[in-house]
Amino acid sequence: MATVDPEPLDLPAIVHPPRISVTPPPIVIPRLDLPAEDGIPMETPWHRSAMNLLIDQVHWQLRGRTDYYVGGNMFIYYGTDQARTWSYRGPDFFFVDEVDGTRERRSWIVFEEAGRYPDVIVELTSPSTADEDHGPKKTIYERTFRTPDYFCYDPFQRLLEGWHLGQRTLYRKLKPNERGWLWCEALGLWLGLWEGRFQNQQAFWPRFYDREGNLILTEAEAERQRAEAERQRAEAAETEIARLKALLAKQNSTSPPSDEQTST
């Protein structure tokens, strides 16, 4: 029996709908009304002054730059859950490099700072905070913040300690130099003790020194130093003028009389 091939069906072409590229909306973290500090005063007036001294030193050392931020006794928020519970108190001093330093901040909110954490932290300890500074805070700075340089200073024992984040991403305790200073890699400065007067208080203070061992000044100290140098230059000039006048007077008194004077 002969077979007949079926006629091809005249079907309409299948038209695929155009692909629509849908970009998901960006994730927006709601703006939280976060407190800047807990309202608890620092342990002593010394603690407040020591914090200000460290901040003032960094500002003067980095004068002319606007790509850093330095603060103290401010909350640092590093997660929305932690922020909502207000569960963390900020360090006494911290420094963050390569950020917009012109923007005013009441607290440091990591998820609004492109994920940036402090590069340097200093805690000014006291009997009521020493355990926390060496325990929970140190663990957070090491494992969550990944802060390269962390220091603790106990003014009651005059004990300065420091740690640097090593290659194994764990804190390695720093060894002091012959002066008892500790190297701060992030700032390129030494941190050591200085005995002197600051804000009407005579005491030992943690202060920064440059690589050569020179004390980093505050702006006020630099201005006083400039004024003192100017005063000394003025006094030296007055002394020299007085010396020259005395020398000239002596020469005039000992010089022989002129012919005109003898003829009279």
Q: Is residue 254 part of a domain?
A: no
In order of 13, 33, 74, 199, 231, the CA distances from 51 in angstroms are 77, 26, 11, 12, 31
Q: Is residue 12 part of a domain?
A: no
| 210 & 230 share domain | no
| 129 & 222 share domain | no
pLDDT for the residue numbered 27: 42
The CATH number that applies at residue 56 is 3.90.1570.20
| 222 & 155 share domain | no
Q: Is residue 24 part of a domain?
A: no
Q: How many domains does the chain have?
A: 2
| 201 & 233 share domain | no
pLDDT tens digit sequence for 115-148:
999 999 999 999 999 999 999 999 999 999 999 9
| 237 & 157 share domain | no
Q: Is residue 25 part of a domain?
A: no
Q: How many CA atoms lie within 13 A of 172 on its CB side?
A: 11
pLDDT for the residue numbered 28: 46
| 149 & 227 share domain | no
| 175 & 195 share domain | yes
| 222 & 129 share domain | no
Q: Is residue 15 part of a domain?
A: no
Q: Is residue 233 part of a domain?
A: yes
| 200 & 241 share domain | no
Q: Is residue 4 part of a domain?
A: no
pLDDT for the residue numbered 108: 94
pLDDT tens digit sequence for 72-117:
999 999 886 765 655 666 899 999 999 999 999 999 999 899 999 9
Domain extent, residue 94, equals 45-215
User: How far is the C-alpha of 86 from the C-alpha of 80, rounded, in Å?
Assistant: 10
| 116 & 158 share domain | yes
DSSP the chain: ----PPPPP-PPPP-PPPP---PPPPP-PPPP---S--SPPPSSHHHHHHHHHHHHHHHHHTTT--SEEEE-S--EE--HHHHHHT--PPPSEEEEESS-TTS--SSEEGGGTTT---SEEEEE--TTTHHHHHTHHHHHIIIII--SEEEEEETTTTEEEEEEE-TTSSEEEPPP-TTS-EEETTTTEEEEEEEEEETTEEEEEEEEE-TTSPBPPPHHHHHHHHHHHHHHHHHHHHHHHHHHHHHHHHHHHHSPPPHHHHH-
pLDDT for the residue numbered 168: 76
Q: Is residue 28 part of a domain?
A: no
